[in-house]
Structure 1
Amino acid sequence: MVLAIPILAGVERALAPAREALIPVLSDTRVLAVWALAVCCSLAVLWWDVRARNRALPSLMKGVWTLVVAYSGPFGLALYWYAGRTQIAHDSPWRRGVRSTAHCYSGCGAGEVVGVTLAQGVLALSVGWVAAATFGFAYLFGYALTVGPLVQEGVGLREALRDALYSETPSITVMEVVAIGADVLLASEATMGDALFWSALALSLSLGFLAAYSVNLLLIRAGVKEGMGNPATMDDG
């Protein structure tokens, strides 16, 4: 496969061995079925824990963690257990970075799923248009998840937009460059009926989270972002 965007040709050649090793695995319907089962089990554990032990979490973060686990299964559940529960022993910049990335990931991931499914799966657009459309949806959903709560808190729309552009653009950009790049590299010719389409999408989302985590951690340490609040302080006993 020759990518339509010339600047990615060198990256494609460098990653060709990994691509050749991953595609047969990701194309196996049994692998996709096992992953879907793992996601369902992870969601069941998350919802049980939220209802039984963590009702104090804000509705926004309950939704955020639900999407994170839906995208990344056991990996997302481990992130919730590490940084998202009221039972964490102590907070830290590392945990704040996880929560901040999870917040970004939930919105951008939804945008990526919608963008890839619509542009590639439904409309069968070329690689360049798939990437462009997916980037657009990811930015739209990512910014909306930041702007919406700020406006609800009484912040003016213009100020909320400015804050979102300032604080979220670096992490969204890095997340989507990695996630969309991985998805295009692995499954640019797959259709919605192929296991590869969905397996590559799930893998690319998690890779995007890992890439954006270091960016969010740097932004928090630099004071650009505060990170999401410590859930331990929300425990109502």
Structure 2
Amino acid sequence: MKKYGAEFLGTFWLVFGGCGSALFSAAIPPMGIGYIGVSFAFGLTVLTMAYAVGPISGGHFNPAVTLGVFAGGRISSKEVLPYIVSQLLGAVAAAALLYVIVTGNVEPYVFDNTKPGAFAANGYGDLSPHGYNLKAAFLAEFILTMFFILIILGTTDARANGKFAGLAIGLALVLIHLISIPITNTSVNPARSTSQAIFAGGGFLSQLWLFWVAPIAGGIVGGLIYKGFFSKE
């Protein structure tokens, strides 16, 4: 239960910090943090929780990471489903609190789920921040998640300097967001996509499948590549 609690809190912090920065701070003139700030916010959430609770659960905070790490032979099959459930619960709890906060402003929160980025949700086509189509979105999410898993497995390998694993993983997530916020608003994490789509509704829910399939496929491929080519065995 300590592991599952750690995954709940870690995923909660990722969604609350990352999506919260997008909702509250990204576009406020003249001091808005923009894409760069949001990218660092997501990276910092993972970096901080990797050191805080990573020693307990491994610091996945992401179903695609859990399945990628499983494909890489690092966790047992019996842990996969409880990890994913814990991550989803943490993400949805964070999104619910974000909704309460963002709608508590004196000025009514303008919520238009026909436009990209509503409630920091992920999308493609008309719901992509810069109009990228389904194929582009799928490729970006697949490739970025695959490399994210390779980085995670490599930096946490017994042969690596584990003291710097959290830093490398957090910075990798910053880079991933810098690349793909314009494409999909960056997912690489089905739990993060699900929590925001639930509250955004509309077309974001019908597009949610991509943000499960592409990251999970990329995560599994990344895990298999590391296990097959780079593991010590």
- Which protein is bigger by CA-based radius of gyration? 1
TM-score by length of structure 2 reads 0.32
TM-score by length of structure 1 reads 0.32
If each structure's helix is expressed as a fraction of its own residues, which one has the higher value?
A: 1
Higher relative contact order (CA 8 A, sep 6+): 2
